[in-house]
Amino acid sequence: MIYFDVSTLNPEKITGVGVYMLQLLKHFHVQGLAVQPVLKLSRLKKKDVIEKILPQKKVRYLLPWSFYQSSDLYHGPDFKLSTQGRFKRVVTVHDMVVFEKKYNAPDFYHKGMVDLTKTLTAERLEAVLVNSEFTKSEVLKHFPHLKEKIHVTYLGCQREKPAHHVNSLELPEKYILFLGTLEKRKNVVGVIEAFNKFKKMTGAEHKLVLAGGHGYGADEILRAIESSEFKADILKLYYVSDAHIHELYSRAEALLFPSFYEGFGIPVLEAMALGCPVVASLGGALEEICADAALLAKPEDTDGLAQHLKTLVEDSQVRTELIKKAFNRSTHFTWEKCAQETAKVYKDLLGKT
């Protein structure tokens, strides 16, 4: 039996990891792979609402270790593992940012390192899934003993127009988009500085839309907004529902996403799939995912980022070619493929004696 832990799934606010869980379970169901979603007893109150959004419909509780066989398999899709069972263990590590002190609050940095170290040194850990070659290299930098157990399973992208009508967001006619948590590692201060330079460089009427909740370092970001001479052109949206994501990308002139650190970079893939040209960071996972289908600069190079924005706004030929190239690039990343590659890891482990 394959047990899939949905304990951290929050139906009221589906995060990127939540999308990963739901898409895997959906495609396992379509592919005929029998997977049993499980839930920790501490999440008892969420059982009914979680069941409503799962294709498998039925969630079981994680039982004491004696109920499981050594031939069973357990997957923790959100960095964490259950240590209750005798089953083989698989974990997904989406990034290694908890090992980057400068991007974390001090208490979270210490706890995050301790927790992830426990996970990646756990008994009967048979496989580690990561979303990019970059994250694979980051894991092996700290845990080289996992070299034979690590597998890259790229994420997918499925951004269809909502089937039902939703009220339109009140967005400016022309805008540059940043979508993600307003936190230090996302380089949102750099986004604001690049936007300031773009405005001075071009005199364009474009606004900057920052869409996302507050994270570590948000105070510095808010100060950067307040001190910008173009602060009247900077708009903040907090949590954006999934139903509005399509509109947010499709109406934007460009996605500006020069993050310092990403494990994958879902926003750049979503933008490419929806015809929104991307300006992103050189190096790391973002360059790996974008390849030559985005305009790239070093994240600290705000002059270069501003110049890329200017190019996209003023050169229609470059813009059109980039949109076409980006869409073609996005088709290489599908949830169906992610589920197939994940299922192969399961089957290989279950086939071991």
State the Cα–Cα distance between residues 298 and 281, nearest whole angstrom.
5
**Token digits of residue 327:** 């869409």
DSSP conformation letters of 84-112: SSSSEEEEEE---GGG-GGGS-HHHHHHH
| pLDDT of res. 154 | 98
CATH node for 175-330: 3.40.50.2000
State the pTM of this model. Answer: 0.92
State the Cα–Cα distance between residues 168 and 248, nearest whole angstrom.
10
Answer whether residue 335 shows pLDDT above 60: yes
| pLDDT of res. 166 | 62
Q: What is the DSSP letter of 28?
A: H
Residue range 294-316: mean pLDDT, rounded: 98
pLDDT tens-digit map of 194-214: 999 999 999 999 999 999 999
| pLDDT of res. 353 | 47
Residue range 249-266: mean pLDDT, rounded: 97
DSSP conformation letters of 222-275: HHHHHH-TTGGGEEEE-S--HHHHHHHHHT-SEEEE--S--SS-HHHHHHHHTT
| pLDDT of res. 164 | 58
pLDDT tens-digit map of 134-157: 999 999 999 999 999 999 999 998
Confidence of residue 279 (pLDDT cuts 50, 70, 90): very high
Confidence of residue 163 (pLDDT cuts 50, 70, 90): low
Q: What is the mean pLDDT of the chain?
A: 92
CATH architecture classification, 2-156+334-350? 3-Layer(aba) Sandwich (3.40)
Residue range 112-121: mean pLDDT, rounded: 94
Higher pLDDT, 54 or 320: 320
**What residue spans in the chain does CATH classification 3.40.50.2000 cover?**
2-156+334-350, 175-330
